[in-house]
């Protein structure tokens, strides 16, 4: 009996070790430690994938959501370009005084954050607040978005990061890259966020994380 077990031991270990590993991974995935669940709300924006101008357009200035001085969005105001000639691929013949030329046509940008945001929203941008506890998103109006106090640091106060999911790998797990799923992740745990992603968004390019709600 003893000899039989001793002979079979390598086989039992050889087959049992991977089985134990699978059980361990399943346990880790299925029973997360409740104290490590994310609690801090965050804000994100979505934009149709054909409006690449909106990619990364939102910035946080002094805790408030704003639209950056995006040349692409407000290109018609650039002094290099007269009217809509940029779209027609025509080179402007206007002589520009470099001393008076403002960077990215600041002077002609819509003055208030509200107007800038309005312009971006008219191009298809949407801003959402996501509650990780209920895993639900709510679309914000311009007023609500501007009222929010946001922190744009990488890590939330409870230690989570907003990140892409891994590619689950169709070919026996041998593939790299990112999936279209979004997660909040810390060192030990990641939970999938059910974001509202526009159907036109492809390869996850239509989502921008803005920051954590304070």
Partner 1 sequence: MENNIIQQVPRKAEHSGMILIAILGGLLLAFGLGKLLSDLWPSFGPLTRVALCVLGFVIAHTSGYFLTKVGNRAYTGTIFHLIGIFLLPVAFSVFFREMQVELNGAMKSFIMTFFGALAYIPFAFTRRTIFVLAGSVYGFLALRSIINLIVGTNPVFDNYFDSYSFLVLGISFLFLGFYIKEYVSVFAKYALNLASSVIIVSAGLSLSDAGRGYGASEFALWDIWFPALMVAMLYGGMRWRFLTQSILAIIGLLATLGILIGKYFDSISLPIILSIAGLVLIMIAYFGVSRNKASVASDAKM
Please give the DSSP secondary-structure letter assigned to residue 69: -
Name the burial class of residue 5, with classes exposed (0-12), middle (13-18) and buried (19+) by CB atoms within 10 angstroms of its CB. Answer: exposed
> What backbone phi and psi angles, to 5 degrees, belong to 43?
-115, 140
Residue closer to partner 1 (CB basis): 58 or 184 = 184
Task: Give the C-alpha separation, 88 to 83, whole Å.
Answer: 10
Name the burial class of residue 74, with classes exposed (0-12), middle (13-18) and buried (19+) by CB atoms within 10 angstroms of its CB. Answer: buried
Interacting residue ranges for partner 1, rule: CB under 8 A: 7-8, 10-11, 13-15, 17-18, 21-22, 25-26, 29, 163-174, 179, 181, 183, 185, 188-190, 192
Residue closer to partner 1 (CB basis): 15 or 96 = 15
CB of 90 to partner 1, least distance (A): 46
CB of 118 to partner 1, least distance (A): 35
CB of 168 to partner 1, least distance (A): 5
Residues present in the chain in total: 214
Task: Give the C-alpha separation, 47 to 197, whole Å.
Answer: 8
CB of 93 to partner 1, least distance (A): 52
Q: How many CB atoms lie within 10 A of CB 174?
A: 7
Residue closer to partner 1 (CB basis): 44 or 74 = 44
Residue closer to partner 1 (CB basis): 60 or 184 = 184
CB of 183 to partner 1, least distance (A): 5
Residue closer to partner 1 (CB basis): 67 or 184 = 184
């Amino acid at each position: 009996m003893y000899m039989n077990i001793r002979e079979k031991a390598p086989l039992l270990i050889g087959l049992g070790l991977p089985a134990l590993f699978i059980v361990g991974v399943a346990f880790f995935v299925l029973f997360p430690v409740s104290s490590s669940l994310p609690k801090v709300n965050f804000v994100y924006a979505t934009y149709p994938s054909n409006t690449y101008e909106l990619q990364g357009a939102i910035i946080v200035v002094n805790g408030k959501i704003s639209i950056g001085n995006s040349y692409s969005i407000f290109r018609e105001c650039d002094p290099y370009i007269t009217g809509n000639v940029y779209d027609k691929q025509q080179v402007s013949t206007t002589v520009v005084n470099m001393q008076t030329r403002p960077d990215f046509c600041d002077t002609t940008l819509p003055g208030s954050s509200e107007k800038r945001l309005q312009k971006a929203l008219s191009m298809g941008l949407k801003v959402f607040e996501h509650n990780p506890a209920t895993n639900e998103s709510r679309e914000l109006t311009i007023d609500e978005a501007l009222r929010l106090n946001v922190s744009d640091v990488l890590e939330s106060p409870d230690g989570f990061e907003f990140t892409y999911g891994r590619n689950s790998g169709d070919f026996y797990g041998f593939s790299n890259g990112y999936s279209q799923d979004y997660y909040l992740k810390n060192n030990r745990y990641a939970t999938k966020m059910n974001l509202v992603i526009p159907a036109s968004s492809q390869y996850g390019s239509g989502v921008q994380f803005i920051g954590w709600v304070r």
